Amino acid sequence: MPRPRRKSLAARRPGPASSRRPSLQDLLAYAVLVAGAAIMFLPVLWLAVSSLKPAPELYTIPPAFLPQEVTLRNYTEALERFPFLVYLRNSVVVTIAATALTLLINSMAAYALSKYRFRGRELILIFILAMLMIPLQVIMIPIFLVLARLDMINTLWGLIIPPAATPTGVFLLRQYMLTIPDELIDAARIDGAGDWRIYWRIVLPLSAPALAVLGIFSVMWRWNDYLWPLLVINSERLFTLQLGLARFRGELVTDWTHVLAMTVFTALPVTVVFAFLQRYLVSGIAATGVKG
């Protein structure tokens, strides 16, 4: 009696997940996600479109989404009216310097708290995390007095140095560095590598996703900061873009055409940075909570 032929392993193996037809639940989830993305993106798109409208079209009732006349006069007039290129230079200098200093200081602290065993390490970490509950308004006056003693008021260093070390950055990097095997560091020590070389050549390259996440956060924090520059900076030649935008608000009338144009102009650099580093965002945030 002939035996039934067995099916080959390839025939019994289920097809790839991408070949299956999406279920009703998947389609519903996709529809909800697309609707949520559209709701969140619509104000940004409205802002960009409205910056191309002439002034009379901004006040039409009912408002029209698409402009009847596209104009770049809002941008040219705003750039001629105020020195926004000077504001842009100040914002770029502050953001790049503060972000680089934040990555350096926070990564060094995270490396010490994750890879060194010493008495009081957990207490120091708890103290750093407790600082997350302290709002900026509470420590703003003491920091201002310290800067005044150091003669850093009305200087760009007064914007760069105070927010360099952040408890959020230390926590994120520390959680990620815990996932780096200790055996790798021990092997480097056996080969004769010092602490600084291990930190610079091994730990930092392996922590690139977490550093990218912290870099994105730092760029957004520094670029969009308004309250602290408002307190520290007095001279217009040191204004950042956020302080420059505030100059369009008059006592009685606000020129919304210039405000919209310069808001788009201000948001572009952050958007470009996020576009280049967004592939690290999800993986970096997910990895920071793997081990505690």
State the pLDDT at residue 23. 81
Rounded to the nearest 10°, the torsion over CA 51, 52, 54, 60 is -70
Confidence of residue 288 (pLDDT cuts 50, 70, 90): low
CA 64 to chain CA mean position, Å:
33
Which of 142, 133, 141 is closest to 171 using CA atoms? 133
- Say if residue 257's pLDDT is above 50: yes
- Residue 261 CA to residue 253 CA, distance in Å, equals 17
Question: For the residues of 42-71, what is the DSSP string, one character each?
Answer: HHHHHHHHHTTS-HHHHT-SSPPSS-SS--
Top pLDDT among 119 and 18 is at: 119
State the pLDDT at residue 149. 92
Which of 172, 193, 198 is closest to 116 using CA atoms? 198
- Say if residue 282's pLDDT is above 50: yes
Average pLDDT, the chain: 82
Mean pLDDT of 88-98: 92
- Say if residue 22's pLDDT is above 90: no
- Say if residue 290's pLDDT is above 60: no
pLDDT in tens, 102-113: 999 999 999 999
Which of 160, 178, 161 is closest to 110 using CA atoms? 178
Extents of the domains making up the chain: 26-71, 82-287
- Residue 114 CA to residue 210 CA, distance in Å, equals 14
pTM score, whole prediction? 0.78
Q: Among 123-132, 180-189, 280-289, whose mean pLDDT is lowest?
A: 280-289
Q: Which residues of 76-110 are buried (b: 16+ CB within 10 A; e: fewer)?
A: eebeeebebebbbebbeebbebbbebbbeebbbbb
State the pLDDT at residue 104. 94
- The distance in angstroms from the start CA to the end CA of the chain is 63
DSSP state of 164: S
- Say if residue 82's pLDDT is above 50: yes
Q: Among 24-33, 40-49, 143-152, 243-252, whose mean pLDDT is lowest?
A: 243-252
Confidence of residue 2 (pLDDT cuts 50, 70, 90): low
| Fold (topology level) of 82-287 | MetI-like fold (1.10.3720)
pLDDT in tens, 160-185: 998 888 888 898 899 889 988 889 89
Determine contact, residues 177/110, Cβ cutoff 8 Å: yes
